[in-house]
Amino acid sequence: MANRIKRYAKKTFLALDNRYNSVKKVYPNSIDYISEENGFYLGVKEVRVIPESFITELNQLGYIYHTVDKASLSGRAIDLELINPLTGNYMTGSSSGTALNVFLGINDVGIGTDGGGSVLAPAICLNLYGFIHPRLGKKHQVNEELKVSTDGIPFSPSIGLISKELDHITKIMTKFFEISSLPNISIGIDNKALQEAAKLTENEYRSTLIGMDDKYTKDRRGLIVDLEHYLSTFDLVISKEGPVDLNGVGDSIYGHFSDFTKKKQNIANKGFIRVANMVGAITLTVPSSDLSVGYVLMTKKESVIPHFLIIGKLLSSGTDELVNRYFGDLSKYFELGI
């Protein structure tokens, strides 16, 4: 058996083993569609809102439906049934299993849903790429799902993507959206990202530093006002966020009890990822070299998306070899059998 097919067989073995309890269902026959040249594995969050016809289109693009992924109960922002392998803390939700199955190498791409950070936050906490777009997969939906957040804000969830590789997100974006590039874009960037701003300037992007110091302590309504202002002022906004759910518990149910629990919620360092979907922003998260820290790129202009991909590569820290050594070699899971 060829090497690539062997590797994908081990992905299915790991899904069946379900070491981290992140898999609800496995389709072992997915291996039939994997060759030495083509085919990637796709995981799908266990929610009704993701249309089967959208999954079918991804299958036709070469992303083969491999697993149904566990989601946190009631869309909660943390998942008390799953553990983050990097931090040992409860896994960030609600697309918790979807992000985990990408991180573990079970799937190449995961499809989740994001209301108030449910794709973006799990991606950042595992140093993965995350992407949401208010129109992604929506042409397949008969009825738009409307929800209300725990803090009383109505929203419609976006469908989003999680991957270790920006190239997968690029391939899917270019399949579903005809994008023409907007030249000479203006960028508003977090003043905590001085080195990153310098890197953008070196590559001839016009960037302006913005003070975003209160993004972790403001409530969602205040963040929505701020982000709407930034997005009307700049073509692209970049916020450096995290470490997500490392030092605190970024969950509004936990945080509403007292000043102490609210403080613990705030130091979970979830900023504009809590409202990006609520304002209808097209958003890409790019992992940094710091644990559970990422760059959040937001725009309302599809013509800015090509710059997402360029800037994503500029900001990317590349593969973490130590993490890859511990979690990337699937053979290690089966040395003593299952």
For the cut 70, the answer to whether the pLDDT of residue 191 exceeds it is: yes
pLDDT tens digits, one per residue of 75-88: 999 999 999 999 99
Q: Which amino acid is at 64?
A: I
The domain locations on the chain are 3-178+321-334, 186-281+288-301
pLDDT tens digits, one per residue of 67-116: 999 999 989 999 999 999 999 999 999 999 999 999 999 999 999 999 99
Q: Tell me the torsion sign for CA atoms 283, 198, 194, 168.
A: positive
The first and second tokens of residue 15, run together, are: 């899904």
**DSSP E strand stretches across 100-235:** 109-114, 129-133, 147-148, 154-155, 158-163, 186-190, 206-210
Over range 224-240, report the average pLDDT: 97
- CA nearest 188: which of 229, 216, 242? 229
Distances (CA, A) of 158 to 20, 192, 306: 26, 28, 20
pLDDT at 143: 62
Q: Is 156 left (phi over 0), alpha (psi -120 to 50) or beta?
A: beta
pLDDT tens digits, one per residue of 274-303: 999 999 999 999 999 999 999 999 999 999
For the cut 90, the answer to whether the pLDDT of residue 228 exceeds it is: yes
| pTM metric for this prediction | 0.96
Architecture field, domain 3-178+321-334: Alpha-Beta Complex (3.90)
**Structure confidence at residue 140 as a pLDDT band (50, 70, 90):** low
Alpha helix segments (H runs only) across 29-165 = 52-60, 96-103, 120-125
Over range 117-145, report the average pLDDT: 88
- CA-CA-CA-CA dihedral for 85, 86, 87, 92, to nearest 10: -70
For the cut 70, the answer to whether the pLDDT of residue 141 exceeds it is: no
